[in-house]
Amino acid sequence: MAAATTDHRWLAGAFTAVTTPFTPDGSAVDEDKLIEQIAFQANPHDPHDPNHSDNGVHGIVVLGTTGESPTITDREARLIAERSIAHGRSLGLRIIIGAGSNNTAHAVELQKQAARMGADATLSVVPYYNKPMQEGLYRHFMMVADAADIPVMLYNIPGRSGVALTIDTIERLSRHPNIAALKHATGSVDEASRICARCEDLILLSGDDPLTWPLASVGITGAVSVIGNILPGRLRALIDAIHHGDWRGGQQIHFELAPLAAGLMSLATNPIGIKTAMRLLGRDSGVLRLPLTESDDAITGAVRELLVGAGLL
């Protein structure tokens, strides 16, 4: 078993799950726009944000749900990872690479590949479509962790994968030295509370922007965020408030972000909402790959209203 670093505390931070920008016809990754997006995460000098901050996020997650990983080719995935690691590292960002699969052997290879490329950690999603039993999920992630030279962040998102890790299975997995964190995207604050109580060494991060602040009350110490694509400075400020115990300040930031975050996630399947918002802000072409489609006039209008309400347009 390879041994990842034992100091995983850096994972308790503000991470943006970045979108994958495509060329206008959707046929290729827009490398220039990708580099712009990474730079924006490190230095979010955004004149559209009345509360803009010079402090960027702690790191980025690429090739996740928001990055449309299911429609990214293996060649494109390597390109995105290489560009993100090289450019993000130069800007002081930590880079977490999506390396999950519903094929265990493939997930193991992706884990090894991310380490060879110089990633700081991987995000490993619960196997989708197969609908494994808990023992299958346990063995899957144990094989990934055994192959790991860098920390593994589990990704529990039953709305996408069709199955969920139970708290018992999470506790079993948390004993592995290479399983460092869990991205919690089940929508349950109660479940997060019980995980924090039973898995003291596991770093728990919010995977639901509207719940990040409520989840802080039960022990989450970071977030993998969608809204960070447009407001990385405010995301960082929210996580800093959690770390510093600034409950009044954090609550105010939550009240600022929650309507926009909830609206973008409820109007259409992620990342349609956030890509629409970025297009309206001049930050992305808004192109998605089939079977996802661009927002229609009604959704675009609703996103525009959310941005106006947030003072961004």
Q: At what angle do helices 272-280 and 247-267 cross, to 10 degrees?
A: 100
CA distances from 256 to 60, 149, 209, 227, 238 (A): 22, 39, 12, 12, 10
Is 129 an active-site residue?
A: no
- The residue annotated as part of the active site, out of 33, 112, 183, 275, is 183
Beta strands 203-206 and 94-98 are: unpaired
Q: How far apart are CA 273 and CA 277, in angstroms?
A: 6
Neighbours of 241 (CB within 10 A): 20
Whether residue 62 contacts residue 97, with contact meaning beta carbons closer than 8 Å, is answered with yes
Beta strands 203-206 and 222-225 are: parallel
Partners of 155 in the β-ladder: 125, 183
Is 155 an active-site residue?
A: yes
User: Residue 203: in which H helix or E strand, if any?
Assistant: strand 203-206
Whether residue 93 contacts residue 9, with contact meaning beta carbons closer than 8 Å, is answered with no
Neighbours of 297 (CB within 10 A): 7
- The residue annotated as part of the active site, out of 33, 112, 138, 155, is 155
Beta strands 152-156 and 94-98 are: unpaired
Which amino acid is located at 8 in the chain?
H
Tokens of 143: 């094989």
Residues tagged active-site: 155, 183
